Structure 1
């Protein structure tokens, strides 16, 4: 465990500096006292860690120093070759070159594990029955984000100048987090109608944390989505299908199995909208009966009569 932490510490110092002991302790999940001991251990092993006092001080490595990639575990080497969505960002060629250089630098046993993973795992970020091509402006947005340049985007018929702060891939969907004149906003990239990089630097808040921002935003987004309750009677053997159809945020409120001997259950199921409920419950056919609200029950009955008439007429 400590050996892995020492390698991570050396790589953090190599990536940037200086780091205070407190920053490193928070990043590695240990105490500042442990960081001081780890730094001493790195120095004894020949890593030239420098320490500087004062408000702008901390630990750093001298310019040009590079550690070797001998600290990778077999699992980490495999994970590096399970392809991330680099092609969609216009970085596929760079990723392939980087992986080739990394592969050449790995010890033989790790090289075999990485090659093994690359030939057995492939990540497809698309979704069935949706266009597999990435949004047309994604590469341009990613380029401006990488270069810290301002963007002009067309969104819902309007042009907006924004400062890109991050891109998030949620399932098959890309989201752009950007600073606007009205504060930080989140845009679905496939709903952006155009994007052009501007000859102006983006203003990026120094303390902006993309992962923390996304966690807070997505939680708030989910909480503000509405719910509608639908009272149903469902066959006991179709309870699993009903759970799969319900809104995932309140699916846990449904029982996982019917009581012993029960032929059916009467319960409330939650959906985001009534039309979603209608679409999902129609898939269950005669295994479910909508009891309320009356408007949805009437629509389900209309569907049932139309289907019966079609088959009776045949």
Structure 2
């Protein structure tokens, strides 16, 4: 068994590796990312058998082609001998290769699995194996996330009558992000608050959403007609679709149905701008938010399990 950095031709060939697509991206999507330069040979590792057959691949992904930010592809070919050794070797050898050009290879990985994956033994077995190997190699924090989707022709709630939505400054949004973090059911928010202050977390959140494809001019503060602020709405976008982005109800206003109104506003905003599909994500443990998506006509289309470094810095 051998592990090494591929040439571009070998990386393209690795995109066609038979794999457990139920826990990852399709090979067509992988090839598209290679051609776009977001998956690169110098950020990759492939595994071959003693006979020279391709049996595994690991590819780190970078949004701007300057440095990788996540382990996007991590597969062993179905039926390959010693799958645990293949998966572990791809991580250990791949990190050495990536660190030689970038210096930071302990990056997160996301398992993309179908809805109801626990009821599919072959998928559940693959997920369990990958989580065990990931944990043994420093990616010991797991968070299951639910991917929702609204498609053209779906339910559209009426305009939220109790609230109005107004622009605000970056400073105001930073304060609201910090306020909304209190008692949040978002797993990453809770983890970040173990390491930093709500103010620092809020500044990072604002910077993140400013970096997304969505426009800053879309952001709104949600308030009553008397001017009392109850939450915030950050419609956003991905490179391919409009996205719910971020919405929150301030702690003192939770439990009064405002989440439905803010979600209705964001949904109607995107539809009004011509969106035919709107994506959204929430943590599996955030059952109130998942229920709100369901009430708003969003369909659960995929489950993602984020594997993060065991030690957050």
Identify which of structures 1 and 2 has the higher relative contact order when contacts are C-alpha pairs closer than 8 Å and 6+ apart. 2
State whether TM-score is above 0.5.
no
Q: Which has the higher helix share?
A: 1
TM superposition score normalised by structure 1: 0.25
Looking at secondary structure, tell me which structure has more strand per residue: 2
